[in-house]
Amino acid sequence: MQLEIKQHYDALAPERDKYRARNKYYYSLLEQQYRYLIPEGKKVLEVGCSTGDLLNTLKPSLGVGIDLSGKCIAIARQKYPSLKFYESTISDFKTTEKFDYIILSGLLGELEDIQGFLESLRTFCTPDTRIVIEYYSYFWQYILKAGEKIRAKIPQKLQNWITHNDICNFLLLAGFDPIKSERCILFPRYIWGVSYLLNKFVAKLPVINALTLNHFVVARAILPPEKEFSVSIIVPCRNEKGNIPAAISRTPQFGLKQEFIFVEGGSKDGTYEEVERVIRENPDKKITLLKQKGIGKGDAVRLGFEHAQYDILMILDADLTVAPEELPKFYQAIKEGHGEFINGCRLVYPMEDEAMRFLNLLGNKFFSLFFTWLLGQRFKDTLCGTKVMFRKQYLDLVANRKYFGDFDPFGDFDLIFGAIKLNLKVVELPIRYKSRSYGTTQIQRFRHGWLLLQMCAFAMRKIKFI
């Protein structure tokens, strides 16, 4: 079968650029989706790279393409000499390099052994590697075959029409964890105005989205847990004097070592002085106190993360409505590789009386449904203050923050949107949400609710309707 596929694409190699020019609009949309999923400057391996156009458009720091067709590889080398191209199968390809992203563009439909092929990719993976699989929707099979007959589409040796569930099952069998899915392109031909409307907006709507042509699955390798990690616990605090001692005394010892970073934001009740007192009374603990210059929890979290020195970053809200005793669960979840962005969820267990007002609860449920649709990963509670991620991945988030900008006074969505953009595995960890024992809530329901709706509109434009 491999020889037959090689001969098929060798014969088509000289025609590749003609087909590409004929479908320029379609390829521009497809490459836009890839550029959204894969940041510039990454190490990228594309298996089944053809003549290298997709790999080149991603602007990788190291771009490697392999393909069965020697004639396609020869053209790719001539067009893009800065990239590396090899005539090879994945099983014969030898390198010690590990990659940030591995692209499988329309490839699974032509494989005899999908599970075996996916297993062979693990050689080139680290825990941070992302597999990006693109495939045609089963709904389009007869339309695409008709397109091949009239030479509107390049002929393929498709033998497998596989569904999203099939791909996820193959990934799990091969030792990969599906993270999220994306769908794009409802109308692959260009008609002024019509194509823009259908592909920019209509294609992103629920139900209709299932009818799109190109579907994506992003996955990561499931690798054994590495080791124990050090932990930075960031505690934003404003008018929380009565909760400061408990934030230290109630936090269990876990991880290789811990540091606490209090970020105080203009308190009127002596919170800053209380943190200074707690530091003096706990000389055996590494505690840092920072004075916030900006405003809002988001600014406080960013300042704390900027000064953090350890492997894992955690947020502990100083109101202690998420109990410090819960933090070891977050640590275990990220240490054992269950997720890379651990998001607290307050909406599973019953809450203590007055822990969350009724309108706040309704708002949380609305935003849960909205963001699950928007982000392609399940979110039951977007607004829980306790969020955990690795520092190295937060630094990647900072480097890519320009995509969204400094838009979030709360800090929750800056981290959630950034994690989704980086294709991190999100896991929600249910916690018991407690009532305050000191102070009053600083959430202003209607003003902050309006800000959240504005952020929803912003996120749709930057994530869903790109």
Provide CB contacts within 8 A for 385, sequence distance 6+. Answer: 297, 315, 316, 317, 321, 322, 344, 412
- pLDDT level of residue 436 (50, 70, 90 thresholds): low
Task: With a cut of 70, say whether residue 364 has pLDDT above it.
Answer: no
Q: What is the mean pLDDT of the chain?
A: 89
> What is 136-172 written as a DSSP string?
E-GGGHHHHHHHHHTTSS----------HHHHHHHHH
Query: Rounded CA gap, 20 and 4, in Å?
Result: 23
- Our measurement of the distance from residue 119's CA atom to the centroid of its chain's CA atoms, rounded to an integer in Å, reads 22
Mean of pLDDT values over 289-316 = 94
The pLDDT assigned to 360 comes to: 60
For the cut 70, the answer to whether the pLDDT of residue 409 exceeds it is no
Give the HSE-up count for residue 337: Cα atoms under 13 Å, Cβ half-sphere.
14
**pLDDT tens per residue across span 231-276:** 999 999 999 999 999 999 999 999 999 999 999 988 999 999 999 9
- Output the pLDDT for position 368: 72
For the chain, the structural domain boundaries read: 2-221, 231-464
In this predicted structure, the answer to whether residue 153 has a pLDDT above a threshold of 70 is yes
Tokens of 363: 């708002």
Which secondary-structure segment (H or E) carries 315? strand 312-315
Instruction: Please state, in angstroms and rounded to a whole number, the distance separating the CA atoms of residues 234 and 201.
Output: 39
Output the DSSP codes for 31-100.
Answer: HHHHHHHS-TT-EEEEES-TTSHHHHHT--SEEEEEES-HHHHHHHHHH-TTSEEEE--TTT-------S
Tokens 């055996």, residue located: 284
How far is Cα 411 from Cα 448, in angstroms, rounded to an integer? 13
Residue 368's CB is within 10 A of a number of other CB atoms, namely: 19
Give whole-number Cα distances, 359 to 362, 386, 454, in Å. Answer: 5, 21, 18
Does the domain spanning 231-464 belong to CATH 2.60.40.3670?
Answer: no
- pLDDT class of 359 with cuts at 50, 70, 90: low
| The dihedral sign for the CA sequence 374, 379, 380, 382 | negative
Cβ proximity of 403 and 421 under 8 Å: yes
Adjacency order of strands within the sheet including 258-264 = 287-291, 258-264, 231-237, 312-315, 387-390, 341-345, 426-430
CB 419 within 8 A of CB 426: yes
CATH code of the domain made up of 2-221: 3.40.50.150
Distance from C-alpha of 179 to C-alpha of 217, rounded to nearest angstrom: 7
Query: What is the per-residue burial (b if ≥16 Cβ within 10 Å, else e) of 288-311?
Result: bbbebeeebbbbbbbbbbeebebb
Which helix (DSSP H) or strand (DSSP E) does residue 134 occupy?
A: strand 130-136
Q: Cβ-count burial of 21 within 10 angstroms (0-12 exposed, 13-18 middle, 19+ buried)?
A: exposed
Distance (Å, whole) CA 449 – CA 366: 11
| Structure-derived torsion over alpha carbons of residues 244, 245, 250, 254, reported in degrees to the nearest 10 | 80
Q: What is the pLDDT of residue 432?
A: 84
Q: What is the pLDDT of residues 52-95, one digit of tens each?
A: 999 999 999 999 999 999 999 999 999 999 999 999 999 999 99
Query: Which residue has 């952020």 as its token pair?
Result: 455
Structure tokens at 445: 């329901």
Are the CB atoms for 299 and 292 separated by under 8 Å? yes
Q: 351 CB contacts (<8 Å, ≥6 apart)?
A: 432, 433
Is pLDDT at 278 greater than 60 in this prediction? Answer: yes
pTM for the structure as a whole = 0.86
Residue pair 180/375 in contact (Cβ under 8 Å)? The answer is: yes
